[in-house]
A and B are shown apart, each in its own frame.
Chain A
Amino acid sequence: MRTYESIFIIRPQIAGDEYTALLGKYKQILADQSAEILRCQEWGTKRLPYLVKKQDQGTFVLINFNAGNTVVKEFERRLRLDDAIMQFQTVLLEGGLDLSEKEEVAPNTDTDADEDDSEQDEEQD
């Protein structure tokens, strides 16, 4: 068992029920393969620093899970096939996940994103 961290970007057009269904689907994919979900963070829709699949916005989701390497392979295969997923990245956490510390980090990343947005707006002008 290894600890992985997966981030994927969902198309911004997908929101509401469709979005929760999509999220549930991927959690289910992990659960079906007996992966243990440690944390699931929704960062919301952010402006992207560069175009991804011709979109300048995307909805970020972060999932941490404990699983074997075959689970990641299948999970990424499913993400790759889904048109609603613009981009994904899975990273192995070598030191495991320290939840107490990470939870403090999470809100900061959100505020960072907001500030980034304003900066980018300025650049574009």
Chain B
Amino acid sequence: MAFDKKGVARRRFGRRKGCRFCADSEISIDYKDVRTLKYFVSERGKIVPRRISGNCANHQRKITEAIKRARNIALISFTSKRTIE
């Protein structure tokens, strides 16, 4: 049992909780707004999961769609640029 507790404790590190789009209705999700989208994309270019970004289901879905649109029209990259080793 102690082992389980340890696992739980390790996962708790400082993450912002709550959906920032629900908190502030002023922010809109737009696929052209690269600066906002970058926040929800890892360095590798992957979409950050909801458990880490803290978004609600509705906004995460919108963010995902926006990121995919931005990738499609070459506003953000599909992956980070890496040379083949």
Q: A residues touching B (Cβ–Cβ < 8 Å)?
A: 7, 9, 48-50, 52, 58, 62, 87-89, 91, 105, 108-109, 112-113, 116, 120, 123-124
Contact = CB atoms under 8 A, between A and B. Distances in A.
A112 B35 contact: yes
B81 A91 contact: no
Contacts of A7: 32, 73
Main secondary structure of the interface of A (DSSP, over half): strand
Interface of B: 30-35, 69, 72-78, 80-81
Interface SS of chain B: helix, strand, loop or mixed? loop
Nearest to A90: B73
Contacts of A48: 74
A27 B33 CA distance: 24
Given A112-B35, A123-B80, 15 more contacts: A7-B32, A9-B74, A49-B75, A49-B76, A49-B81, A50-B77, A87-B74, A89-B73, A91-B31, A105-B30, A105-B32, A105-B33, A108-B33, A109-B33, A112-B34
